[in-house]
Amino acid sequence: MILTYRNLKIAYVVSCLILGLIILAPTLSLVVTLPVSSERFSELWVLGSEHTAENNPLNVKVDEYRTVYLGVRNHMRDLEYYVIYVKLRNQSEPLPDIANGTASGLRQLFEYRVVLEDGDIWEKQIQFAVDSVSFDGNSSKVMNLLVDGYALGVNETALWDPAKNGFYYQLFFELWRFDYSTSHFEFHDRFVGLWLNATATMS
């Protein structure tokens, strides 16, 4: 190719543009917002005393404390205000309906409030025990649940499960987040739980 004055001029201009972009790249990165994943979500988990997935169900005795780790991580790309409700149910009572975005209708026994920046994690070691359990034929009744030193009146009844040979309750945690458009907490389609076998309290 013959290098003419015109070709040299074009090559010079292109070289200057490329060099300019290289020099300005760090500054442009502060101004230009690159596309990010549109997925926004929150994580919720409960782990056993060894900080691993615990075998379910947990066999519980009166006033015998068990330890679990409850955690939340914010992937909502904004500051989030969460509340985690603690609830207890028997096998026939409703869990949250994720498909319809509705929480369980069971009453809240306890709550944890958390404010997290995007990407931040909150995790808490929780100690709990059942208290004042009574038995009458094929039913059992837990009158109190102890959570982090607080005595919570539950009065929850469970029937004998012949398939599993026990009285079973489920301790579960619902995640709610503050909706700034409505100024209310809304169920955030996340819940985790663990089964408790209260049969051992009979001995």
pLDDT, tens digit, 9 for 90 and up, residues 6-32: 666 666 666 656 655 555 555 434 444
The secondary structure of the chain, three-state, reads: CCCCHHHHHHHHHHHHHHHHHHHHHHHHHHHCCCCCCCCCEEEEEEECCCCCCCCCCEECCECCCEEEEEEEEEECCCCEEEEEEEEEEECCCCCCECCCCECCCCCCCEEEEEEECCCCEEEEEEEEEEEEEEEECCEEEEEEEEECCEEEEEEEEEEEECCCCEEEEEEEEEEEEEECCCCEEEEEEEEEEEEEEHHHHHC
Same domain, 13 and 58: no
Number of domains in the chain: 2
pLDDT band of 48, cuts 50, 70, 90: confident
- pLDDT at residue 123 greater than cutoff 60: yes
pLDDT, tens digit, 9 for 90 and up, residues 142-160: 999 999 999 999 999 999 9
Same domain, 65 and 132: yes
Same domain, 102 and 16: no
Mention every residue, 6+ apart, whose C-beta is less than 8 A from residue 171: 86, 87, 88, 128, 145, 193, 194, 196
Same domain, 6 and 46: no
Percent of the chain with pLDDT over 90: 65
Q: Which domain holds residue 118?
A: 41-202
Same domain, 97 and 141: yes
Which CATH number covers residue 170?
2.60.40.10
- pLDDT at residue 45 greater than cutoff 80: yes
pLDDT for the residue numbered 9 = 65
Same domain, 131 and 153: yes
Same domain, 23 and 108: no
- pTM recorded for the entire structure: 0.78
Same domain, 62 and 122: yes
Same domain, 12 and 47: no
Same domain, 27 and 55: no
Same domain, 138 and 181: yes
Same domain, 78 and 139: yes
